[in-house]
Amino acid sequence: MKKVFVPQSEDKGKRLDIYLSEKLDLSRSQIKKLIEKDKVLCNGQVLKKSGEEIKESWAIEVFLEEELPIKAFPQNIPLDIVYEDEDFAVVNKPRGMVTHICQASPKDTLVNAAMYHIKNLSDINGELRYGIVHRLDKSTSGLILIAKNNDSHISLANQIANRTAMRYYLGVVEGNLKDDEGEIEEPIARHAVDRKKMAVREGGRYAKTYYRVLERFMDYTLVEFRLHTGRTHQIRVHMKHIQHPIVGDAKYGTKKRFAHGQLLHAHKLIIKHPGTQEEMLFTALLPDYFEKFLNKLRNG
């Protein structure tokens, strides 16, 4: 598959890998691999350097490798179903599980497990996202809504979009927050250089996170977060922005050696039943590794 780009005057002088990562939504390392495979040409000539400076006279051709087709299929993966009725289910996703099927994760996802354990799933978002109303990062554990028919899916998705659904998280952050409670209201967009990351950036999408301190330790703080919006990596990006990253966050944190994985858990969810409109509250206990870390802090 070939893509052609003609740089504009404002692109002059940009690094080739940065320019292409922005255009193709790929990481710079992925762009580098394409260049090494002679898949990037300028005016018919192969480009060899990632750091080549863009010129206005260029016409850049990129030959992308064809992606293999992927299909959804059920897998007998253990699944913690917190609640289920004829309209929807609530699942407590473990850390390390990808939410939906994609090219990078064609199996062992929450969708694969849900297809095996839950009868009927909405298909409004296509077969690779059967039932998935919203998602959690692979490294985040906790509650996710699974719709069992399209009417329920629309109702639940609208509650999230209209911010009537309430989603709460527990997380341990590095350092001590100055205030006992507050909000972070900063726009989030794709990182300017690393396309696999998000960042607080001017011109990004509106994002707001509420927080409340639950417990303070010498170098850490246990915090409850409530999402007002639901941008990609929102809590993680906002906490990095105020210099209190989530403990164990390999993408945005400082990788403390005793943090056994990311300590962020979607622990509470309040919605209205898509059929009866009855308000419902669901909770999920902290995973064992999370509790052990807190106990270690409490014991000094």
Residue pair 3/24 in contact (Cβ under 8 Å)? The answer is yes
Which of 53, 48, 41 lies closest to 16 in space, CA to CA? 53
Can 85 be counted among the known catalytic residues?
A: no
Q: Which residue among the candidates 11, 17, 87, 137 is catalytic per the annotation?
A: 137
Quick one: 207 exposed, middle or buried, by C-beta within 10 A (0-12, 13-18, 19+)?
Answer: buried
| 74 three-state secondary structure | coil
What's the token pair of residue 230?
A: 């639901």
How far apart (Å, rounded) are the C-alpha atoms in residues 273 and 250?
A: 36
Classify the C-alpha dihedral 13-19-20-26 as positive or negative.
positive
Tokens of 102: 């994609």
Are the beta carbons of 221 and 176 closer than 8 angstroms? yes
Q: Is 108 left (phi over 0), alpha (psi -120 to 50) or beta?
A: left
Q: SS3 for 185?
A: strand
**Cα–Cα nearest to 221, from 260, 170, 266:** 170
Residues 168/155, Cβ–Cβ less than 8 Å:
no
Closest to 46 in 3D by CA, of 28, 26, 62: 62
Question: What one-letter code names the amino acid at 239?
Answer: M
* Cα–Cα dist 73/106, whole Å: 9
User: Mind telling me the catalytic residues?
Assistant: 137
